[in-house]
Structure formats: structure tokens, C-alpha cells
């Protein structure tokens, strides 16, 4: 029994960690900007492409493979620093206060452009460099060999949840973000530079998306189409957790991870639908998601 239960639990956590990274940036951006960013998946895959390119460069120059860990973090910072302000200032800013349909259309257009851009820049073959996986080695747990990198990812996901909570609750920037989320107009009236907060929050969302892609790359590689798959899963997780709820995204990732793993272990034919079945059940019981709340709509 333990030979099934332990792998099942560990697989659920490992799967949840990857799913959480895919969704947390999306939910953060929605909580601050009230924009559902359909291009989120592309930012995830760009993070993966940049990380793969840098790690491959490190390998080709025979530099220390430990630099690849730095490269994973650097690539997320690089993507966020370039694309975060650029996209927010040129596209996203025009969608504030517009209807959800307009926001979705604009960000979907951005998604299509970014997908083609990736093909032009990185080609259509998959990219992959697993130095971080090799460096961390493997462990036998419950009779099954696991990559220590999978456990590292679980730890990283926990760190990100704690880090974001600390940022929001215990820093000045966090308090400013909280003020903007609570009442954008009131925050503006007391002198908060909301435009700056929007750029920072959107860039942080891009960073989290790119970090997710970068951290997934050493085990999953990156190939065309990754962005679209990620986007759909991220939406499911964000909806289950409650749009804009960071802790909700973490719990939702656990639910989706567990649902998927249970399906693979016991009903493999339901593997693909398991996350969405979980979403359906949660939304039927709680239409605003697990951590979401009904909000009055201002007219």
C-alpha cells in the first residue's frame, strides 16, 4: 500500500508545484490590475526558452554547471525586466477599465504575436538542458526513483508562496499594492502612483510566469505549444482558487495536482479532463472559487 501511497502523494506535490508556478503570476496580475492576461502562457514559455538558451550557452562554453541555477533565476528577471514594462505600457494600460471582452481580445492578440515571435527566434525544435537535474541527482522514495529536482521544485513553490505573502503583508510595496487592490481611486487620491504600482505588479506577474517556465525547463524542456497548454491550465487553477487569490492558487494547484495524479494512477483515460472536472466541481459549489468572494459591481 505504502508503495503506492507515498509515490502518489509525492507526485501530487511535485505536479502541484509546477501547476502553481504556471498560475500564480496570472492570479497576481488579476488581483492588482483586474486584467485577465491570456498571454500569460506565452510569458511562461518565453521564460523557459530564455533559460534553455542561457543554460545551453553555459554548457557549450563548458562553464560551471552550477551557473545554470543562477541562469534559471536570471532568465526570469531578464524576461520580466524587458517584457513587463514594455507590455504594460504599450498594451495592458489601454485595457484598464474596459470590458473583460476587450481585455481578453487584446491579450489574446498579444498571445498570438508572442507565439509567432518564439517560433521566429527559437525555431520549432524543442530546447532542453538538464544540468540542474543532473547536479541534484536522484532519491529512492517509496520504491520509486525520484529526481531531487522535483523535490527542489516543491520547496521553491513553498518559498514563493511565503515570499509573496511577506511581500504583500510586510513591505511598503505590498501595502501600496493592497491599497490599490482595495480601492484604486482612493489610492490615487491619497497620492499613490498607481501607474507605477501597475507596472511593478505586472512585471512581478511576468517574473513569476517566466520563473515557472524556467524552473520547469530542466525536466520538461520547451517546445512550441507550451504556452497554450500552460495558459489553459493556469486559468483552471486561478478559477478554482478564486481569481486574484494567491493562497487560493496554491490550494487549487494542490487540488488539480492530486486530481491529475489520481487519474493517472487509477483511471488513466481521465488524465486530461481531471483538472477541469475538479474545476467544474469547485465552481458548482463555490462559483467564485475556493478563496474568492462575491464583490459588488460598481456601475
Question: Which residues would be at the binding site for another protein (CB under 8 A)?
Answer: 3-4, 7, 10-11, 14-15, 18, 119, 124-126, 128, 130, 133-134, 138, 143-147, 150, 216, 219-226, 229, 260-261, 264-265, 268-269, 271-272
Residue 191's CB is within 10 A of a number of other CB atoms, namely 6
Residue 217 has φ and ψ, to the nearest 5°, of -55, -45
> Minimum distance between the CB of residue 222 and another protein, rounded to whole angstroms?
8
- In the complex with another protein, the residue whose CB is nearer, 36 or 50, is 50
Please give the Cα distance from 270 to 263 (Å, whole number).
6
Least Cβ distance, residue 14 to another protein (angstroms) = 6
Mention every residue, 6+ apart, whose C-beta is less than 8 A from residue 199: 84, 85, 88, 89
Q: Which is nearer to another protein, 73 or 151 (CB)?
A: 151
Least distance in Å: CB of 221 to another protein? 5
Minimum Å distance from CB 129 to another protein? 10
Nearer of residues 24 and 222 to another protein, judged by Cβ? 222
Minimal distance, residue 147 CB to another protein, in Å: 6
Quote the CA–CA distance of 6 and 119 in Å, as a whole number. Answer: 40
- Residues 144 and 141: their CA atoms lie apart, in Å, by 5
Cell of 180: 490599490
Distance of CA 136 to the CA centre of its chain: 23
Residue 251 region by backbone torsions, left for phi larger than 0, else alpha for psi between -120 and 50, else beta: alpha
286's grid cell: 463555490
In whole angstroms, the minimum distance from the beta carbon of 35 to another protein comes to 26
Smaller CB separation from another protein, 9 or 86:
9
Q: Which residues pair with 147 in a beta bridge?
A: 138
- Cβ closest to another protein, residue 228 vs residue 283: 228
Return the number of the residue (7 or 85) whose C-beta is nearest another protein: 7
Using left for φ > 0, alpha for ψ between -120 and 50, and beta otherwise, residue 256 falls in alpha
Minimum distance from residue 114 beta carbon to another protein (Å)? 14
Identify which of residues 201 and 252 has a Cβ nearer to another protein in the complex: 252
What's 270's DSSP letter? G
Contact (Cβ atoms closer than 8 angstroms) between residue 227 and residue 111: yes
Amino acid at each position: 500500500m505504502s508503495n503506492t501511497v507515498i509515490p502518489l502523494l509525492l507526485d501530487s506535490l511535485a505536479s502541484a508545484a509546477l501547476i502553481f508556478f504556471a498560475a500564480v503570476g496570472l492570479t497576481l496580475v488579476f488581483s492588482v490590475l483586474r486584467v485577465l492576461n491570456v498571454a500569460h502562457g506565452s510569458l511562461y514559455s518565453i521564460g523557459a526558452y530564455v533559460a534553455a538558451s542561457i543554460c545551453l550557452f553555459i554548457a557549450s562554453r563548458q562553464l560551471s554547471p552550477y551557473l545554470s541555477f543562477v541562469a534559471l533565476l536570471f532568465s526570469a528577471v531578464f524576461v520580466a525586466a524587458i517584457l513587463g514594462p514594455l507590455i504594460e505600457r504599450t498594451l495592458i494600460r489601454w485595457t484598464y477599465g474596459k470590458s473583460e471582452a476587450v481585455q481578453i481580445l487584446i491579450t489574446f492578440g498579444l498571445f498570438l504575436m508572442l507565439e509567432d515571435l518564439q517560433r521566429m527566434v527559437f525555431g520549432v525544435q524543442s530546447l532542453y538542458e538538464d544540468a540542474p537535474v543532473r547536479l541534484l541527482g536522484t532519491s529512492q522514495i517509496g520504491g520509486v526513483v525520484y529526481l531531487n529536482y522535483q523535490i527542489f521544485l516543491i520547496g521553491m513553490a513553498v518559498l514563493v508562496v511565503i515570499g509573496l505573502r511577506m511581500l504583500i503583508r510586510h513591505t511598503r510595496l505590498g501595502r501600496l499594492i493592497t491599497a490599490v487592490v482595495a480601492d484604486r481611486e482612493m489610492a490615487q487620491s491619497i497620492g499613490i502612483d498607481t501607474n507605477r504600482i501597475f507596472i511593478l505588479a505586472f512585471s512581478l506577474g511576468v517574473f513569476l510566469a517566466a520563473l515557472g517556465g524556467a524552473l520547469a525547463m530542466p525536466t520538461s524542456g520547451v517546445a512550441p505549444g507550451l504556452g497554450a497548454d500552460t495558459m489553459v491550465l493556469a486559468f483552471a487553477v486561478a478559477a478554482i482558487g478564486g481569481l486574484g487569490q494567491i493562497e487560493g492558487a496554491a490550494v487549487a494547484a494542490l487540488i488539480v495536482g492530486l486530481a491529475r495524479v489520481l487519474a493517472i494512477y487509477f483511471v488513466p483515460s481521465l488524465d486530461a479532463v481531471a483538472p477541469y472536472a475538479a474545476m467544474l466541481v469547485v465552481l458548482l459549489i463555490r462559483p467564485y472559487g475556493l478563496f474568492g468572494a462575491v464583490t459588488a459591481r460598481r456601475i
